[in-house]
Amino acid sequence: MTANFIPNCPITLHDTKNTKFVWGPDLGSLKGKTTRQKSPQIRMENNSIPIQVMQQYKDVTLSADVMKVNGIPFLMIISRHITFGTAGKLDNMNNTHIIKHFKAVSGAYAPYNGGIQQALGYLAAVGFISPDDAAAEIAKRTISFSAGQNAVVIVDEDLTDLEALNPAFAGLKQYRHATADDLLLLASSTVIGTTVGGNPQLINGVTVPLADNWVLTPQEQMVIQVATDSYNATMATIAGSNPNIALFDFYNLGIEAVSGIVFDDYTMNGKLVTGGIFSLDGVHTTARGYALIANYVLAAMDSEFGSNFTSATNGLAKAGDYPTNYSAMLR
């Protein structure tokens, strides 16, 4: 433009200078011309959490995700209660490596675990519980995850209700990992691992403890056993006092099913799917299971009333006449 290489151009050099002043430099021409300085190295320091923070913030929801910056993966972790976050560069995207980094920041669960230790330690110090009981409950209630398989986190209403004991213990819920002594309901398999409200950070059984209605703890199993024994004793008393009633002990049949029951050419047990007694809902029996029960009922009638179902020709159901599996065409 200065050398007048554009014929009949109404735009003057002065116009160009005014345009640059109004609109700024040509950003497109600057691409690739700037240099990026090396970022300073992040210093990592571990500090104890102040007691004031511990008392106010004991219930922390931690959200984690892998995000990429210029193609470099970072493990980003943000709390949803105390507003802080962490970032750690990932050398690769292998699950083992991600878990390693996740464990490095698992101290974010310290408010809950630390709160449990302080609360139960205090209760032991004032004589509310023994030091041994406090130590046992601390070990039971501490939540931690490691590489590999981990037990789901559950709500156990039989744990000490710390919130009810002292307002300073607010937020210390009755959480713990499930153990082999707990019985998870069959239907819980449809809940464990699902998200709450579609939030990928809120996972039932992991970041959100499994509700009490999905688990039978040992204490709850004991309550059920006492009620079952009482109910069975009442039925036995009623049947024994009435000559017109034959009693069939279905409870003991269930116990026998644990080790296996021979029914004609089949050995049936209480295992789901493969046992042959229970159907896929885990409650009702299969057709063959009902046939087995019917034979036991007929035997009880023979014993009580002197009938001969068990000895009569074709008096009992035959296992081979009753299937345990059905064609998908019956849906």
Q: Smallest Cα–Cα separation from 250: which of 285, 276, 223, 200? A: 285
For 30, the 3-state DSSP assignment is: helix
Q: In terms of domains, do 93 and 123 share one?
A: no
Q: In terms of Cα–Cα distance, which of 47, 93, 36 is closest to 67? A: 93
Are 284 and 268 contained in the same domain? yes
DSSP 8-state symbol, 47: -
Examine residue 10 and state whether it is found in any structural domain, yes or no.
no
Look up residue 216 and give its two tokens.
């039978």
Q: Is residue 317 part of a domain?
A: yes
Say yes or no: 114 and 142 in one domain: yes
Q: Is 1 a member of any domain? A: no
Categorize the per-residue pLDDT at 171 as very low, low, confident or very high, splitting at 50, 70 and 90: confident
- Do 208 and 274 fall into the same domain? no
Maximum alpha-carbon separation in the chain? 126
Whether 306 and 285 share a structural domain: yes
**103-112, 174-183, 287-296: which has the minimum mean pLDDT?**
103-112
Confidence of residue 228 (pLDDT cuts 50, 70, 90): very high
Higher pLDDT among residues 182 and 1, named by residue:
182
Do 202 and 271 share a domain, yes or no? no
Cα separation of 11 and 14, whole Å? 8
Checking if the pLDDT of 22 tops 90, the result is no
Cα–Cα distance, 16 to 37 (Å, whole number): 33
What DSSP letter does each residue of 109-164 carry, written as one string? GHHHHHHHHHHHHHHHHTTSS-HHHHHHHHHHH-----SS--PPEEE-TTS--HHH
Instruction: Grade residue 83 by pLDDT with cuts at 50, 70 and 90.
Output: very low
Let me know whether 174 and 202 are in one domain: yes
31 assigned to some structural domain: no
182 and 130 in contact (C-beta within 8 Å)? Answer: no
Judge if 79 and 121 occupy the same domain. no
Has residue 293 been placed in a domain? yes
Q: Are residues 95 and 134 in the same domain?
A: no
Q: Is residue 133, in this structure, part of any structural domain at all?
A: yes
Q: Which structural domain, as residue segments, surrounds residue 254? A: 246-330
Q: Is residue 188 part of a domain?
A: yes
Q: What percent of the chain has pLDDT over 70?
A: 70
279 and 200 co-located in one domain? no
Q: How many CB atoms lie within 10 A of CB 157?
A: 11
Phi, psi of 320 (to 5 degrees): -65, -15
Q: Is residue 86 part of a domain?
A: yes
Whole-angstrom distance, CA of residue 40 vs CA of residue 285: 67
Task: Please name the residue that has the structure tokens 């003991």.
Answer: 252
Work out the pLDDT band at 79, boundaries 50, 70, 90: low
Would you tell me how many other CB atoms lie within 10 Å of the CB of residue 45?
Answer: 4
Query: Which residue's structure tokens are 């156990």?
Result: 156
Q: Are residues 122 and 97 in the same domain?
A: no
CA distances for 141 relative to 145, 212, 264, 317, angstroms:
13, 15, 49, 51
Average the pLDDT over each of 34-43, 132-141, 151-160, 292-301 and give the range with the smallest value.
34-43
Nearest CA-CA partner of 288 in 257, 309, 311:
257
Tell me the pLDDT band of 85, cut-offs 50, 70 and 90.
Answer: very low
Task: Write down which residue in 108, 133, 149 finishes a domain.
Answer: 108
The reported pTM is 0.59
pLDDT in tens, 234-258: 999 999 999 999 999 888 888 898 8
Same domain, 89 and 119: no
CA distance 162 to 156: 12
* The pLDDT of residue 104 is above 60: no
Question: Residue 88 pLDDT more than 60?
Answer: no
Q: Which residue has the tokens 């219930």?
A: 59
Query: Over the stretch 176-210, which tens digit does the pLDDT of each residue have?
Result: 999 999 999 988 988 998 888 887 777 888 878 89
What pLDDT is stored for residue 39 in this prediction? 64
- 260 pLDDT more than 50: yes
- Count up the domains in the chain and report the number: 3
Mean pLDDT of the chain: 80
Identify the pLDDT of residue 105: 42
Coil, strand or helix at 266: strand
